[in-house]
């Protein structure tokens, strides 16, 4: 077995609230996340808005500094390396943003935008850089003569191709894609999804794929990480999560998606208003206030992570059939 391209150990990120009254309060956007991602594989992160999935992406690519925890890229601990080494490691993990248009500099021809990372990070000659740019453009299905155009001259789908080309240009091991499809029209989404899969097969790159669309997630993932309020509710292989979800939250997500409505059973009971009120102040499971199976224990104790053949479930009462 290869060593993982990306390994995350107990990653946490706290944001402190602004304002003098809340100065001492912190919010855990990411709370104790661990996973590993092997070369050529895809890990999807799913969850509702506010689950911390975008925040996770920001820690991984280095936009923000995690509060605690370790990120290993090619088994090298990011936080223990020197600044210079860190910069080299971050070349291995690149990001594709949700909105392709806003992620491209509107006043810069795309040839220049694509050359920029090479200019900063390598000592290649201008000719060599141009060759790499042209080659990468062809990889994402665009033509070399497109380098002279500005971003606004492209359609949304083409812009996302350019954004992918920029992520690819330093030949990274891992690409973090934060909802790369949701700003695109339905008929264009499939093109981009196909492109991402073709690139993975040809280049062996790994994806951390952040999405709310479970259909897409099932289609492309090898592993799935289900997040709720910054915590991992369930983590496992695609078969485990979609065929035998064991966390009530995973079931709830699946049953809410029209296409999966009939594949999973989940109780429709919601906790009573009084129970919800108590759950707010309690220190137990974060999902207790919405969980159909919640009991007193869920309010009192943080659930531990149960392990079923590698499928990790953070729940007091995992659903086993």
Partner 1 sequence: MNEVILYKETPIPGRWKQFWGKFRRNKGALSGFIFLCFMVLMAVFSPLIAPFDPAEQFTEYLRTPPAWYENGINHFIFGTDDLGRDLLSRVIHGSRLSLGLSATVVIIAASLGILLGAIAGLLRGTLEFIILRFMDVILAIPSLLLAIVIVAIMGPGLPNAVYAVAIVLIPHFVRIVRAAIKEEMSKDYVIAARLDGASPIRLFTHSIFPNILPPLIIQLTLAFSTALVDIAALGFLGLGAQPPNPEWGTILSQSRDFIQLAPWTVTIPGLAILLTVMSINLMGDGLRDALDPKDHRE
Partner 2 sequence: MSLLHIENLTIEFPTHKGYVRVVDKVSLRMKSGEVLGVVGESGSGKSMLALAVMGLLAPNAKLTADFLSLNHQDLMKLTKEQRRSFIAQNASIIFQKPENSLNPCFSVGDQLRESLKLNGVQRYREQQKKAIELLSDVGISDPETRLSQYPHQLSGGMNQRIMIAMAIASKPKLLIADEPTTALDVTIQAQIIELLLQLNTDNDMGLMLITHDFALLSESTQRVCVMYSGQIMENANSQNILKSPRHPYSKALLESIPHIGERHHMGERLFSLKGTIPAIDHLPVGCRLGPRCPRAAKECVKTPRLEAVKNHGLVRCHFPLPEAQEKEA
Q: Which residues bind partner 2 (CB under 8 A)?
A: 48-49, 155-158, 185-191, 193-194, 197-198, 201, 212, 214-216, 218-220, 238, 242, 252-253, 255-261, 263, 273
Any residues with CB less than 8 A from the CB of 304 and at least 6 apart, and which? Answer: 314
- Residue 102 binding partner per list partner 2, partner 1, none, with a CB distance cut-off of 5 to 8 Å that depends on partner kind: partner 1
Span of 14-22, 89-97, 219-227, 269-277 interacting with partner 1 by CB under 8 A: 89-97
* Counts for the chain of helices (H) and strands (E), in that order: 11, 12
Q: Residue 150 and residue 106: Cα distance in Å, rounded?
A: 7
- Report the Cα–Cα distance between both ends of the chain, in Å, rounded: 32
**Contact of 97 with 166, CB cutoff 8 Å:** no
**Contact of 312 with 234, CB cutoff 8 Å:** yes
Among 18, 106, 202, 321, binds partner 1 (CB under 8 A): 106
The footprint of partner 1 on residues 109-138 (CB under 8 A) is 116-117, 120-121
The footprint of partner 1 on residues 144-183 (CB under 8 A) is 150, 152-153, 163, 166
Describe the crossing of helices 126-139 and 110-121 by its angle, rounded to 10 degrees: 120
Q: Residue 252 and residue 50: Cα distance in Å, rounded?
A: 16
User: Smallest gap, in angstroms, from Cβ of residue 10 to partner 2?
Assistant: 27
User: Smallest gap, in angstroms, from Cβ of residue 116 to partner 2?
Assistant: 26
Beta strands at 311-314 and 231-237: parallel, antiparallel or unpaired: antiparallel
**Contact of 61 with 8, CB cutoff 8 Å:** no
- Residue 166 binding partner per list partner 2, partner 1, none, with a CB distance cut-off of 5 to 8 Å that depends on partner kind: partner 1
User: Residue 320's Cα: distance from chain center in Å?
Assistant: 27
User: Smallest gap, in angstroms, from Cβ of residue 67 to partner 2?
Assistant: 26
User: Smallest gap, in angstroms, from Cβ of residue 259 to partner 1?
Assistant: 30
User: Smallest gap, in angstroms, from Cβ of residue 191 to partner 2?
Assistant: 5
- Residues in the site for partner 1, rule: CB under 8 A? 61-63, 87, 90-91, 94-95, 97-99, 102-108, 116-117, 120-121, 150, 152-153, 163, 166
């Amino acid at each position: 077995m290869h060593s993982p391209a990306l390994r995350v150990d107990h990653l946490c990120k706290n944001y402190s609230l602004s304002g003098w009254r809340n100065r001492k309060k912190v919010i855990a956007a990411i709370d104790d996340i661990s996973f590993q991602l092997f070369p050529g594989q895809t890990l999807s992160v799913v969850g509702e808005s506010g689950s911390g999935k975008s925040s996770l992406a920001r820690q991984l690519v280095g936009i923000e500094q995690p509060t605690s925890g370790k990120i290993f890229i090619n088994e090298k601990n990011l936080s223990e390396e020197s600044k210079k080494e860190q910069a080299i490691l971050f070349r291995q993990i690149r990001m594709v943003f949700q909105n392709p248009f806003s992620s491209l500099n509107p006043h810069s021809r795309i040839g220049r935008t694509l050359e920029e990372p090479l200019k900063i990070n390598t000592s290649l000659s201008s000719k060599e850089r141009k060759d790499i740019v042209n080659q990468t453009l062809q990889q994402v299905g665009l033509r070399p003569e497109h380098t002279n155009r500005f971003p606004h001259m492209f359609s949304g789908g083409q812009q996302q191709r350019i954004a992918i080309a920029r992520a690819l240009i330093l030949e990274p091991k891992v690409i973090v894609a934060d909802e790369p499809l949701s700003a695109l029209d339905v008929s264009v989404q499939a093109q981009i999804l196909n492109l991402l899969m073709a690139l993975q097969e040809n280049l062996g790159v790994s994806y951390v794929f952040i999405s709310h669309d479970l259909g897409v997630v099932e289609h492309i993932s090898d592993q799935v990480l289900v997040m709720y309020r910054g915590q991992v509710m369930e983590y496992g292989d695609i078969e485990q999560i979609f065929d035998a979800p064991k966390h009530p939250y995973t079931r709830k997500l699946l049953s809410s998606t029209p296409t999966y409505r009939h594949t999973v059973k989940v109780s429709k009971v919601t906790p009573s208003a009084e129970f919800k009120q108590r759950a707010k102040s309690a220190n137990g499971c974060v999902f207790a206030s919405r969980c159909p199976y919640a009991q007193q224990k869920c309010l009192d104790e943080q659930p531990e992570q149960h392990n079923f053949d590698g499928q990790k479930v953070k729940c007091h009462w995992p659903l086993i059939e």
